[in-house]
Amino acid sequence: MRIVTWNINSVRLRLPLLLRLIDETAPDVICLQETKVVDDSFPMAAIAERGYNFGHVHGMKSYNGVAILSRLPLTDCARRNWCGREDCRHAIAELPGDVELHSVYVPSGGDIPDPVANPKFAHKLQFLDEMAGWCGERQDPARRRIMLGDFNIAPLEHDVWSHKQMQDVVSHTAIEIEKLTALQQAGNWVDVGRHFVPANEKLYTWWSYRAQDWNVSNRGRHLDHIWVSPALVPALAGYQVLRDARGWEPKPSDHVPVLVDLAL
DNA sequence: ATGGTAGCGTAGCTA
């Protein structure tokens, strides 16, 4: 089973690139973040034409939005709200083979890494705390689970282009890393990226739109993650970061798709 | 130290 996750930054604007992703990688399941569209306007027809007849979409006007698209049946589709907000950041579905899948979009957190001065940063930290509590309560090493998406945090030294220069930049601050690590430990999650790519190698999934040349400066961050429960570790068969997608024309997303192959 | 780009929707918010 091949599963891909992508922060698409508008599914309507980038539908042609989504179809290209489908043609080039033939995933069984596609998880999206930042779809930026209400459910009634989600472009399901074009996606169903490619064989993805099962969709669980959870979007809102202009901001956020997550989705799970599949050519395998989806059951037990659900959504969760965090921090008392209905802002469309978490979609859940069950895949064949007793696999529970979560597509998640963690709040970005704004620019100032201070929860007192910056409510967006406080929201991000609270979101992580609440998810850690929930994952801890229901944690079960024997259950097959996948949690993936744009976590908006690059926790390791080599998840950013410069650990030193990123210390006080939102996405790589100590408090965020502490919260994300606590979430990972509470849920007993195994990081698929670092299962395949050693921690001393650079690993990026996002490059800013603001760079003059993203490829030359290569100031990336590892913001998009795929985590699995211990029960799925023996099934891990492959992992790819589709770096080339950062240059897809016209109008690439600032995030690239990340995929995992599972031998179930 | 600053500003740089992008999407939505058509001003200003969010990233």
pLDDT (tens place) for every residue of chain A, 264 residues total: 999 999 999 999 999 999 999 999 999 999 999 999 999 999 999 999 999 999 999 999 999 999 999 999 999 999 999 999 999 999 999 999 999 999 999 999 999 999 999 999 999 999 999 999 999 999 999 999 999 999 999 999 999 999 999 999 999 999 999 999 999 999 999 999 999 999 999 999 999 999 999 999 999 999 999 999 999 999 999 999 999 999 999 999 999 999 999 999
CB A224 within 8 A of CB A258: yes
For residue A223, which nucleotide's C1' is closest to its Cα? B15
Q: Which residue is nearest to nucleotide B14 (CA to C1')?
A: A63
β-bridge pairing A90-95 and A99-105: antiparallel
Q: Which residue is nearest to nucleotide B8 (CA to C1')?
A: A62
For residue A61, which nucleotide's C1' is closest to its Cα? B8
Measured between its terminal Cα atoms, the distance across chain A in Å is 7
Look-up of token digits 């670092």: A194
Supply A193's token pair: 């990226």
Whether the bond into A141 is cis, omega within 30 of 0: no
pLDDT in the model for residue A109: 98
For residue A209, which nucleotide's C1' is closest to its Cα? B5
Provide the Cα torsion A67, A87, A123, A10; round to 10°: 50
E strand or H helix at A23: helix A15-25
- The spacing between the Cα labelled CA in A171 and the C1' in B15, in angstroms, equals 12
Give the Cα separation of A50 and A48 in Å (integer): 5
Q: Which of A143, A121, A139, A140 is nearest to A131 (CA)?
A: A139
Looking at the DSSP bridge assignments, the partners of residue A238 are A261
Domain count of the fold of chain A: 1
pLDDT in the model for residue A157: 98
E strand or H helix at A95: strand A90-95
**Chain B: nucleotides under 7 Å from a protein CB?**
3-9, 12, 14-15
pLDDT in the model for residue A67: 98
Residue A234 sits in a domain of what CATH number? 3.60.10.10
Identify protein residues whose C-beta is within 7 angstroms of any atom in strand B: A 9-10, 12-13, 36, 61-64, 107-110, 120, 152, 209-210, 251
pLDDT in the model for residue A178: 98
What range does the domain containing A134 cover? 2-262
pLDDT in the model for residue A163: 97
Look-up of token digits 């999206």: A32
- The spacing between the Cα labelled CA in A206 and the C1' in B7, in angstroms, equals 17
Indicate the SS3 state at residue A108: coil
Q: With 0-12 CB in 10 A as exposed, 13-18 as middle and 19+ as buried, what is A251?
A: exposed
CB A12 within 8 A of CB A36: yes
